[in-house]
């Protein structure tokens, strides 16, 4: 699959089957997260920022007190590319990560980060 060329609508539809938590809005992949407040919001933003910089691919972020909207597109290609799908998959894997139950790490007792609901 192309990583630097914008996907066609049918390629996007195919890829979206494996990303049910994301939507396509105005030529970008979009996902919302909700947090228990500003400190957690900033930690989530920093986590996304860290991966984005390591990947050299940077989403647009809309940040409010307890919400983070992530918007992925490849500006240089004018659309959604394999880079956007790869970063979306990576964020799906880590943004809601929790220690396994019964393991050595107890996990935060706070609500922390959860999947956001869509406004529409």
The residues of the shown chain that bind ligand H2B, judged by CB under 6 A, are 56-58, 74-76
Minimum CB distance to ligand H2B smaller for 6 or for 96 = 6
Q: Are residues 80 and 12 in contact, defined by beta-carbon separation less than 8 angstroms?
A: yes
Minimum CB distance to ligand H2B smaller for 35 or for 74 = 74
Q: Are residues 83 and 57 in contact, defined by beta-carbon separation less than 8 angstroms?
A: yes
Distance CA 67, CA 118 (A): 11
Shortest distance, position 87 Cβ to ligand H2B, whole Å:
8
3-class secondary-structure state, position 33: strand
Shortest distance, position 38 Cβ to ligand H2B, whole Å:
25
Shortest distance, position 64 Cβ to ligand H2B, whole Å:
21
CA-closest candidate to residue 97, choices 108, 83, 86, 84: 108
């Amino acid at each position: 699959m192309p990583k630097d060329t914008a996907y066609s609508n049918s390629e996007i539809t195919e890829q979206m089957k494996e990303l049910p938590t994301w939507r396509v809005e105005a030529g970008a992949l979009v996902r919302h997260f909700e947090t228990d407040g500003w400190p957690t919001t900033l930690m989530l933003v920093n986590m996304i920022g860290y991966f984005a910089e390591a990947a050299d691919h940077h989403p647009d972020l809309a940040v409010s007190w307890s919400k983070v909207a992530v918007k992925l597109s490849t500006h240089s290609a004018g659309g959604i590319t394999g880079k956007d799908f790869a970063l979306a998959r990576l964020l799906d894997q880590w943004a809601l990560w929790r220690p396994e139950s019964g393991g050595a790490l107890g996990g935060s007792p706070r609500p922390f980060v959860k999947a956001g609901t869509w406004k529409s």
